[in-house]
Amino acid sequence: MLPQTITEFGYAKINLALHVTGQRADGYHLLDSLVVFAGIGDHLRATPAAEMSLSVSGPFADGVPTGEDNLVLRAARLVAGDMGVAFSLVKSLPPTSGIGGGSADAAAAIRAVTRLRAMAGSLKPLSPEDGQKIVALGADVPVCLASHPTRMRGIGEQLDWLPPLPEVHVVLANPRIEVPTPAVFKALAQKENPPLPDQVPAWVDAADMAAWLVGTRNDLQGPALAVAPQIGRVLTELEQLPGALMARMSGSGATCFALFAKENAAQEAADHLRAAQPDWWVAAGLIYPGRADMAQLIRA
């Protein structure tokens, strides 16, 4: 029988809001963030094999190490037991850009290995120590595992799913600069900022959601602008796109996003921006609204 190949998707992560509320003794920052996922991302194919291996292709393949330090292989080894897997990653998300990239790929690898082990009848439950090792891969890996709209606290390990979102479309833009996350956190002068409001409402539509978000912040946007002033240009261009409800930077940058109520408005805005800024990476997609049944379970 031919080994079965399965495909997982590494969804782009977007921090709609990111408040830095403190700092731990080990230097990691405490966050209060609203994290959502778009139908824009990396494809990961996984086939059972004698050994672990990884090949990388796609528009951003050059920025990805294929050796043992790659997050796909490190994540897979944590959960694979003695199973080998041949991975093939199509890298479409720009690396080191505030939208999850490596964390999304690591999460996709963990989902892929879990599915393959279930198919082989060798699935083992994860222990709390396995969970800690997964967080240690990257603070965004846990939230990327479910890729569900989430309020994320702690350094990324406290996850509460949000009520289902209304239909919202996003345009992502990156001026093809890599902004190292530690440098941005280092440039953050004020480490203790107010958290998000206690209750995140169930927004009725995209305009309602954007109006609420205007009262929130990305506390890393100021420090990222100090590290990479080009981000200011990206924000201005996104804000000026017809139909844009709001624009903000995601994560530690440099990728910024704008929200739209309608798919055609987002697609047209993305085409317009690509024509105006041919050197930038620009993508449009739907924000995953989440599962109503799961949100009901949380409220119950």
Positions that interact with ligand C5P (CB under 6 A): 28-29, 31, 138-140, 155-156, 181-182, 185
The active-site residue out of 13, 32, 91, 219 is 13
96 in a labelled binding site: yes
97 in a labelled binding site: yes
81 in a labelled binding site: no
Q: Are 111 and 72 in contact (CB under 8 A)?
A: no
94 in a labelled binding site: yes
Considering beta carbons, is residue 185 or 281 the nearer one to ligand C5P?
185
- Would residue 69 show up in a list of annotated catalytic residues for this protein? no
Considering beta carbons, is residue 96 or 174 the nearer one to ligand C5P?
96
- Would residue 198 show up in a list of annotated catalytic residues for this protein? no
Cβ at position 187, least distance to ligand C5P in Å: 12
104 in a labelled binding site: yes
Cβ at position 138, least distance to ligand C5P in Å: 4
- Closest by CA to 96, choosing from 38, 177, 27, is 177
Cβ at position 24, least distance to ligand C5P in Å: 8
Considering beta carbons, is residue 10 or 48 the nearer one to ligand C5P?
10
The active-site residue out of 42, 105, 140, 219 is 140
Residue 110 CA to residue 78 CA, distance in Å, equals 8
Considering beta carbons, is residue 134 or 171 the nearer one to ligand C5P?
134
102 in a labelled binding site: yes
- Closest by CA to 165, choosing from 30, 28, 34, 271, is 34
Instruction: Write the secondary structure of the chain as one string of H (helix), E (strand) and C (coil).
Output: CCCCCEEEEEEEEEEEEEEEEEECCCCCEEEEEEEEEEEEEEEEEEEEECCCEEEEECCCHHHCCCCCCCHHHHHHHHHCCCCEEEEEEECCCCCCCCCCHHHHHHHHHHHHHHHHHHHCCCCCCCCHHHHHHHHHHCCCHHHHHHCCCEEEEECCCEEEECCCCCCCEEEEEECCCCCCHHHHHHCCCCCCCCCCCCCCCCCCCHHHHHHHHCCCCECCHHHHHHHCCHHHHHHHHHHCCCCCCEEEECCCCCCEEEEECCHHHHHHHHHHHHHHCCCCEEEEEEECCCCHHHHHHHHC
Cβ at position 218, least distance to ligand C5P in Å: 13
Considering beta carbons, is residue 181 or 230 the nearer one to ligand C5P?
181
Please give the structure tokens belonging to residue 99. 């939208």
Cβ at position 209, least distance to ligand C5P in Å: 24
| Residues of each annotated binding site | 94-104
| Residues of each annotated binding site for ATP | 94-104
Show which residues are catalytic.
Answer: 13, 140
